[in-house]
Structure 1
Amino acid sequence: MNGQNLSDKIEKSTLSFRKLFLEKDFETLSDFATPKLIEYLKTKQDLVFLLTELSKNYEAKGVKVTNISFGKNSEIISYKNQLQCSIPFSLEMEDAKKKVKFTAGLALISFDKGETWFYTFKVEKDPKTNNEILDLDARIIIDERNQIIVNK
């Protein structure tokens, strides 16, 4: 499979992730978490709980998610019978007074030669430790989280 086909499959996957996230279908979204992320969190229900609680917390403060979008994936690396890459994303939120845009990254992993893609977010600050825990190739770099606040 060539790189363009793989990037097309990644784009299709990220559109699905986006839809599930915006619909707050965290149960289905958790089905696309990498096994190592689930292992780190202990169970799939822990991921669902984490995403649900984050959602409840910002909604309780009058904040709503207005968009999530993904950038272009990095080079796709073959590692331990997997394909891996990283991808930047931005999450836009707003309340009555301000807009906040978070940017960060995810790692994407395919166990079936690029047909389907699973995601993981960064779990440790140190890239080497993070990649060891998540079983990622050392060349995979997950972007740090940043935020931009704009007053309305």
Structure 2
Amino acid sequence: MVVRKSAIIMSNAMIKNDLETLADYTHPKILAAMGGKDKMIARTKASIAEMKTGGVTFRGASIGKIGRFYTSGKDLYCLIPHEILMNTEGGYLSSTSSVLGISHDKGKTWKFVSAGNIGKKRLKTIFTTLPDGLQISPQTTPVFHKE
């Protein structure tokens, strides 16, 4: 399934700090809101550097089962659970969020938005064709796992 493969590529890019690929799989409206691809990459690099200074690094990530597909206007939408693991002193943190997949070409290609930390109301202002039936789960509070 194209959307799953694309979501895995996007997730792996985040973990591997491959910010070019991450930006390529980020929805253009999000890139525009961040000032363009180059600014998105620069801001993400700065955030990662700040995390490292605080002793936090990416450990891993996994993509869950693709949710129901919704058609609205010419767009195809789906939600994908996304678990992120972060190394920290004495163990690691785990958190789950929703990634919104959007296709403007009937599922041939997909772009993504981290939706769990944005919320449906704000997403609806960015993506006006966002289906009403789409239920976006908020990002979970990180859970610490001692090692």
Match for residue 77 of structure 1 among 65, 70, 82: 70
**Residues 95 and 144 of structure 1: is their aligned pair in 2 closer, same or farther, counting only changes over 3 Å?**
same
CA offsets per residue over residues 20-46 of structure 1, 9 Å max, x none?
112211122111111221232232223
Asked if 2 retains the 8 angstrom alpha-carbon contact of 1:20 and 1:28, the reply is: yes
Q: Does 1:148 align with 2:143?
A: yes
Q: Report what 1:121 is aligned to.
A: 114
Counterparts in 2 of 1:125 and 1:64: CA distance versus 1, 3 Å: closer
So what's the TM-score if we normalise by structure 1? 0.84
**1:68/1:123 CA distance change after superposition, 3 Å:** closer
Where structure 2 has 5 or more consecutive residues not aligned to the other structure, the ranges are none
Q: CA RMSD in A?
A: 2.0
Relative to 1, partners in 2 of residues 1:65 and 1:129: Cα closer, same or farther, differing over 3 Å? closer
User: Secondary structure of the residue that 2:136 maps to in structure 1?
Assistant: coil
* Residue matched to 2:6: 13
User: Residue by residue, what CA displacement relative to the aligned partner does 1:46-75 show, whole Å, maximum 9, x if unpaired?
Assistant: 321232122111212222211111111211
- TM-score normalised by length of structure 2: 0.86
Deviates more, 1:81-90 or 1:93-102: 93-102
Superposed CA deviations along residues 5-29 of structure 1, whole A, max 9, x for unmatched, are xxx2111112211221122111221
Structure 1, unpaired ranges of 5+: 1-7
Fraction of identical pairs, as percent: 22
Report the residue type matching 2:2 in the other structure: K
Aligned counterparts of 1:123 and 1:89: Cα–Cα separation in 2:
9
SS of match in other structure, 1:103: strand
DSSP 3-state at the match of 1:77: strand
